[in-house]
Amino acid sequence: METSAASTAEPSVLARPSRYAGLSRARRRVQVGVLAFFLVLPVVYGAGLVDVHGSLYAMDFWGFLVIDPVIAIQKAILGESSLALVLGALIPIALALALGPIFCGWMCPFGLLSEMVAWVRVGSRPGDKIRPPGWSRYTVLAGVFVAATAFAYPLATRVSMPGSLTLATTAAVASGIVLLELWVVVLVLLLDLVLPRFWCNHICMQGGLLALLRIPWTLRVRYEQTRCRQDECSDECFGSCPIGIDPRSVGWFSGCTNCGECLSACARHGGALTWRFGGRHD
């Protein structure tokens, strides 16, 4: 009877999607790598080793422009449109259409710092205490385009945290100049210390635009209720979410960044969460 019970239990263990268990560590390495890239870039560019320069406003890769879509749209409104601008914006747009807002969850250096501040403020279960994204980011996004249209004012270049952080970082490393943008980033991080992830969840226009760029085949988190062991894991999937979303009910505009933290937490239990391309959004 003991042998039978053991053999019965074993398949459920083997069936767990353990391939997701290391996502959290992999994501952190990518985030740190991107931040390190912008710290090293001005040095290697200044030494003439690579012809790559810029910030997360816009990057020049050997003469090919890659630009923040929000900045590209703002430039178009201000009459600065060109084929290079369109092509440069299409790369991050295509990435978001295929993989969702993974820039926010995997690549944004400001997002990394904001998560570190949130960890100091709320500990290892951010989902329990962080207010999830709302519609305010779309209001900010609309306000940026209204400012460009009605007043010809490039507001997007003043309130972009990934752009400001990387611009200030490269300037400080390259020439020792401390730009105003750096102090703006510091002030926003202090705000995040009081209201964890407030900027990313409720202000960030880039995050708002990327969250809108979804099609029926965009990568998303899928929840399989029959595999859920909520009594065993104590909502670890929800508690692990850096932006406070419940991954068991991810909607079309919920703001999920496909960071994989919930999948990593769930992999240790029933494996009810997986990634899939397409599927119904509740």
Question: Is residue 279 scored above 80 in pLDDT?
Answer: no
Contact 91, 66 (CB under 8 A): yes
**Average pLDDT score over residue span 54-66:** 96
Mean pLDDT of 248-252: 86
pLDDT cut 70: percent of the chain above it:
93
Over residues 253-276, the mean pLDDT reads: 91
The pLDDT of residue 176 is 93
For the record, the structure tokens of 107 come out as 């690549």
* Size of the chain, expressed as the number of residues it contains: 282
Query: At 235, phi and psi to the nearest 5?
Result: 60, 35
Q: According to the model, what pLDDT value does residue 233 have?
A: 83
| pLDDT in the model for residue 10 | 35
What is the reported pLDDT for 13? 38
Q: Per-residue pLDDT tens for 142-190?
A: 999 999 999 999 999 989 999 999 999 999 999 999 999 999 999 999 9
List the chain domain ranges.
25-212, 215-277
Query: Measured between alpha carbons, how far is 195 from 226 in angstroms, rounded to an integer?
Result: 36
Residue 194 phi, psi (nearest 5): -85, -45
Q: Which residues does 164 contact at the CB level (< 8 Å), separation at least 6?
A: 181, 182, 184, 185
What integer is the mean pLDDT of 40-61?
A: 96
- Name the average pLDDT for the chain: 90
CB 134, CB 201: distance < 8 Å:
yes
pLDDT band at 120 (very low <50, low <70, confident <90, very high): very high
196-225: pLDDT as tens digits? 999 999 999 999 999 999 999 999 999 999
Considering only 115-119, 138-142, 211-215, 249-253, which range has the smallest mean pLDDT?
Answer: 249-253
User: Over pLDDT 90: what percentage of the chain?
Assistant: 82
Q: What pLDDT was estimated at residue 280?
A: 54
Using CA atoms, how far apart are residues 96 and 28, in angstroms rounded to an integer? 20
SS3 (DSSP) at 65? strand
* CB burial string 111-145: b at 16+ within 10 A, e below: bbbbbebbeebbeebbbeebebbeeebbebbeebb
Residue 8 has pLDDT above 50, yes or no: no
129-152 per-position pLDDT tens digit: 999 998 999 999 999 999 999 999
Query: What is the rounded average pLDDT of the residues 80-88?
Result: 93
Q: What is the pLDDT of residue 6?
A: 37
Give the pLDDT confidence score for residue 281 in this predicted structure: 46
